[in-house]
Chain A
Amino acid sequence: MNKALRRLSIACLVMFVVLLGWVNYLQVFRVNSLASEPGNRRIFDQQQKNQRGEIIAAGGTGPQKVIAESKPLKGGFYHRVYPDPFTYAPITGYDSILGTTSPGGITGIELAENNYLDGTASKLAVYNLKGLFTGKSRQGASIYLTISPKAQAAAYAALAQLGKVAGVVAINPKTGAILALASYPTFDPNKYATESSAVLSKIDKAYRTDPNQPLLNRALNDTFPPGSTFKIVTSSTAFETHKVDNPDSTIPAPTVYPLPGSSSAIHNDDDGPCGNGKPSILIALTLSCNTAFAELGDHVGGQNLHTYADNYNFNDPSLTIPLPVSASPYPLLTDRAQIAQSAIGQFNDKVTPLEEAMIAASVANHGVMMQPYMVQEVRAPDQEVVQNTDPTEIRQVVSSQVASYLTRMMESVTHNPSGTAYLTAGPPATRINIAGKTGTAQNGAEAIGIDDAVFTCFAPADNPQIAVGVIVKGGGFGAAAAAPVAVAVIKAFLGQQ
């Protein structure tokens, strides 16, 4: 019987070896595939057990403001809270229980800086290791934004008061740091922080089917016709290509400019003449004469306009700040009528509010465009800085000389009593020396009746601290609807009246 017993003993060993092999397979090789099974409750719980880092608006002067934080619940879980949800929603985005497992599960800075916020970034490995020994659960790093709480609050309040689809962006022209970024209408990210997937799916559906598109970030991902603000680009092209020598050079400004090769014609806003009929380019911009700039556009040509539009960062689909920014299209045109129209921002050219701010910022910064950015610092749980952003140049858009010409012209828009923004952004409105340009766009190709209001500016003109781009859809005349928003942001940021 012993032979059979020995064989049985080997059979038993084989059974145990099979078991050992199988559990090795499960707990070593299948760890990741089982962890990523949909609905894995342990993985989900684990994510809710780590304290996600804070997002802090830390730009400008005055106190910083926490705009996203994780508060402890019972049982070691955390709940994401957005203390000022509507004002900061286009910046923070939201972090739902779906997280990165599903497209749209997480957005905004929550998504762009997810690796730091949830503590998995390789730069945080050493802190995680410390946590392993002290038994603390993983803690995320905090994101310090360049956003100024004062400017941001003013920006959202101004948009909310208008109550129209609108976006506004403010940039520090010297660094590219984004000081404010607001969108209207917007959403409440706190609603996305629910622990219930049923509630989440209801909320998400309601927002996604809302015709006002509250989830759309108008400041970065919606484009509008630039209207007359594009005349800054046209002027830049004319100076740079030496078609116009300086701001005091006169340019042709007929009362009616018939479009070349077309039966239609371009008029000025009041259907009258432009100044004395032969104004300097400075006066033409101050009064925002359409005929003068349409003819100037035809004069400099589609190729040149396209080149300088590209210089001003039109047609760039890959800009991230780190939120992804939609391209502002300015196509290369060959038809002279189309070129003339596009030169006054009325053809197929479209811009984001960020692009408007970048145009003003480039002018303010002696023609140098800075890379816009929103994340200044990343700090580990022990407050040590693990990442810091240094300002970088994108390119020299126009020469410093041309930038100073443009500054003079934009100052004239707000300071010449007949300038389009004299009443709303000039001395009657504020003591701050603002240089700007209004735009009133007839909604490009798909005109809906009410014009879009656009304003791009920087201040103070002699020592620029802030550049602002505003677009209000259906806002009407640019100076009336958009300029006050920019002025409110500038006042709040500079802390003056």
Chain B
Amino acid sequence: MSAAASPISDQVMPRGGLAPIPLPPGRRGTELAMIGFAVMIMAFAWAASGFGLNGHIPPGLITYVGGFAVLLLGAHLAVRFLAPWADPLMLPLAGLLNGLGVVMIYRLQESGVGKNPGQPISTLTANAALTQLIYTAVGLIAFVVVLAVIREPRVLQRYTYTLGTLGLIVLAIPAILPARFSDINGAKVWITFGGFSIQPGEFARIALAVFFAGYLVRKRDVLSLAGRRVIGIDLPRARDLGPVAVIWLASLLVLVFESDIGTSALFFGMFIVMIYLATQRTSWMLIGVLMFVGGAAIAQEFIPHVHERFEVWLHPFAQALGNGYQVVQGLEGMAFGGIFGTGLGQGEPYHTPLVQSDFILTGFGEELGLTGLMALVLIYALITQRGLRAAIAVRDPFSKLLAGGLAFILALQVFIILGGVSNLIPLTGITTPFLSQGGSSLIASWIVIGLLMRVSDAARRPAPQPIQDEGLTQVVRAG
């Protein structure tokens, strides 16, 4: 248990004194300073991309970076009121990623436009960066709403089954809708209406995390105690496997009907890890991994779409102009960037299809080099670790599970997408948190940050101060 989480009990009342107990630092000043730093990095990146493209500071420096700074400041002020004890690093780190994403999208949108070098990207509109900035605003509003509405993380436990049902329904909608309402670029994971499109899976993920946390908190004793021991591994009872099997099937169905391997892997990974957290049984991890690998192997055999991905993974250059084109372009882009990168605006990320969404990390690898890419990976690692730290620090088991699951899913998402685009593992099209172009992913990611900060606020918040009545009240340290 961290020192910050329980400082109050360590305070010894001065004998006979009336001095108030000093509150632990909220670290909001640190957060503000870090936000300033993040905005500065974004401003430099913005200017650098303009210099790289055409030798001028881009016209939108004040509007875009200024607007972004105002949004982050607003979020910071809201945190001061709504979650004053929350982790001071999450907001600036997520903000930095979001800001760099906007810069990269701007740089890509300007490619080949006017006298800028490069080729225009047909899948990107002329004001994609502005749209992304608007999504950022919506995301930060959602972030503030989460903090405002959910004052205690454990109140979510009440909506375990409501959110679980909602999550499954939302997840299933694209599979049921006709393709013209749900299919974009071969993945049937969208709901489109009137020019707008959302990816319900991004939000279903959060609802299901809440559901898993609520469900597992109740069932964890049954899941961890009953069962047999085989070769040193505690196996659960067959009937307790039921819900796991249901989720496994659901994730496979997502895979089959929505051609979305990434999302199914994410769901399944999150569920297995949360069972593990709830039961502390390694056997669950083992079963989960075996089930997923088995499922993937079967899918690879029978679903052509999945089989293709495996072929590309094993022999990308054998089909450099066919199915492997995107992966090959991404790899060549990263290699082209080398250690220090070409500099923003000076590489050729536009050769890689969908470099603004799934492949955005290869774009960063190309223009910011290994150095920049490692920095981004480390930022993700930091957010994950801060989330897990909040989970460790908070006392309520539901909050622990929720925060642990959400933090892990962020790490898993980064692993799947960066591993995929760099051909470490088969490519599965999922978004890159905070960086990818697109509203659903960005807003959902900000909701996750809101929930994690709510949990960390709960963990670090001092217990309500007892009414000081000297002589009658005594602070007793609980064991």
A residues near B, CB below 8 A?
1-6, 8-9, 12-13, 15-16, 18-20, 22-24, 26-28, 30-31, 33-35, 37-43, 45-46, 74-76
Check: B44 CB closer than 8 A to any chain A CB. no
Question: For residue B416, which residue of chain A has the nearest CB?
Answer: A15
CA distance A441 to B429 in the complex (A): 74
For residue A260, give the distance in angstroms from its CB to the closest CB of chain B. 67
Enumerate chain A residues within 8 angstroms of B412, measured Cβ to Cβ: 15
Q: How distant is the Cα of A140 from the Cα of B476 in the complex, in angstroms?
A: 80
- Tell me which residues across on chain B come within 8 A of A19, comparing CB atoms: 377, 414-415, 418-419, 422, 424
Chain A hits for B400, CB < 8 A: 1-2, 5
**Given A6-B392, A13-B385, A41-B351 in contact, is the A31-B338 Cβ separation under 8 Å?**
yes
Q: Which residue of A lies closest to B374 (CB)?
A: A20
Cβ contact of B335, chosen from A24, A27, A39, cutoff 8 A: A27
B380 at the interface (CB under 8 A from A): yes
Is A4 a contact partner of B381 (Cβ separation < 8 A)? no
Interface string of B36-59 (1 = CB under 8 A from A): 000000000000000000000000
Cβ of B144 within 8 Å of any chain A Cβ, yes or no, is no
Asked whether, in the complex, the Cβ of B373 is within 8 Å of the Cβ of A27, the reply is yes
Partner of A26, one of B277, B317, B331, B348: B331
Return the chain A residue nearest B280 by Cβ.
Answer: A4
Q: How far is the CB of B257 from chain A (nearest CB, A)?
A: 28
Given A1-B397, A4-B276: A23 in contact with B388 (beta carbons within 8 A): no
Asked if B117 and A76 make an inter-chain contact with CB atoms under 8 angstroms apart, the answer reads: yes
A3 and B415 CA atoms in complex are apart in Å by: 23
Q: Known contacts A5-B388, A5-B392, A5-B404; decide if A35 and B424 are in contact (CB<8 Å).
A: no
Cβ < 8 Å to A, chain B residues 368-425:
369-370, 373-374, 377-378, 380-381, 384-385, 388-389, 391-392, 397, 400-401, 404, 407-408, 411-412, 414-415, 418-419, 422, 424
**Looking across the interface, which residue of chain A has its beta carbon closest to that of B403?**
A5
Chain B 97-118 interface residues, beta-carbon cutoff 8 Å to A: 112, 115, 117-118
A9 to B392 Cα, complex, angstroms: 10
A-B contacts, CB under 8 A, total: 137
Kindly state whether residue B312 has any CB partner on chain A within 8 Å.
Answer: no
Residues of chain A lying within 8 A (CB to CB) of residue B414 = 16, 19
Nearest Cβ distance between residue B344 and chain A, in whole angstroms? 13
Find B381's partner among A1, A8, A12 (CB 8 Å cutoff): A12
Are B348 and A20 neighbours in the complex by a CB distance under 8 Å?
no
Across the interface, do A23 and B338 meet the contact criterion of CB distance under 8 Å? no
Is B150 at the interface (CB under 8 A from chain A)? no
Interchain CB contact under 8 A, A37 and B328: yes
**Which chain A residues lie closer than 8 Å to B418 at the CB level?**
19, 23
Contact (Cβ within 8 A) B385 A15: no
Chain A residue at minimum C-beta to C-beta distance from B316? A37
> Measured between alpha carbons, how far is A77 from B317 in the docked complex, in Å?
27
- Listed by A's residue number, 22 A-B pairs whose Cβ atoms lie within 8 Å are A4-B276, A5-B388, A9-B389, A12-B384, A15-B411, A15-B412, A18-B419, A18-B424, A19-B418, A20-B377, A22-B422, A26-B334, A27-B337, A27-B338, A27-B339, A34-B332, A35-B335, A37-B332, A38-B320, A42-B351, A46-B336, A76-B117
CB distance A8 to B335 under 8 Å? Answer: no
Cβ < 8 Å to A, chain B residues 298-336: 317, 320-321, 328-329, 331-336
* A1 contacts B370, C-beta separation under 8 Å: no
A75 touches B118 (CB 8 A): yes
B79 CB–A CB distance under 8 Å: no
Kindly state the interface size class of chain B when it binds its partner. 35 or more
Q: Is the interface of A mostly helix, strand, loop or mixed?
A: helix
Q: Is B278 an interface residue (CB 8 A)?
A: yes
Contact among B336, B381, B389 for A35, CB-based, below 8 A: B336
Report the minimal beta-carbon distance from A23 to chain B, rounded to whole angstroms.
Answer: 5
Contact between chains at A13 and B381 (CB < 8 Å):
yes
Residues in B324-364 with C-beta less than 8 Å from chain A: 328-329, 331-339, 347-348, 351
- List CB contacts (< 8 Å) of B272-308 with chain A: 273, 276-278, 280
Contact of A16 among B115, B373, B381 (CB under 8 A): B381
The answer to whether B415 and A15 touch across the interface, beta carbons within 8 angstroms, is: yes
Give Cα distance in the complex from A15 to B419, angstroms: 10
A interface footprint on B103-141 (CB within 8 Å = 1, 0 otherwise): 000000000100101100000000000000000000000
- Whether a CB of chain A sits under 8 angstroms from the CB of B365 is yes
What is the distance, in angstroms, from B270's C-beta to the closest C-beta of chain A?
A: 11
Is B328's CB under 8 angstroms from A27's CB? no
A39 with B397: CB separation less than 8 A: no
Most buried by B among A9, A15, A20, A27: A27
**Contact status B411-A12, CB under 8 Å:** yes
A40-B404 CB under 8 A given contacts A13-B381, A16-B380, A45-B348:
no
A22 to B118, CA, bound (A): 28
Contacts of A39 in B (CB 8 A): 320-321
Q: Which has the most chain A C-beta neighbours within 10 Å: B276, B332, B385?
A: B332
A366, B125: Cα distance in complex, Å:
76
A22 to B415, CA, bound (A): 11
Contact (Cβ within 8 A) A8 B276: yes
- A54 shortest CB reach to chain B, Å: 23
Separation of A24 and B373 alpha carbons in the complex (Å): 10
How many angstroms between the C-alpha atoms of A22 and B362 in the bound complex? Answer: 13
Q: Are A5 and B277 in contact (CB under 8 A)?
A: yes
CA distance A41 to B329 in the complex (A): 8
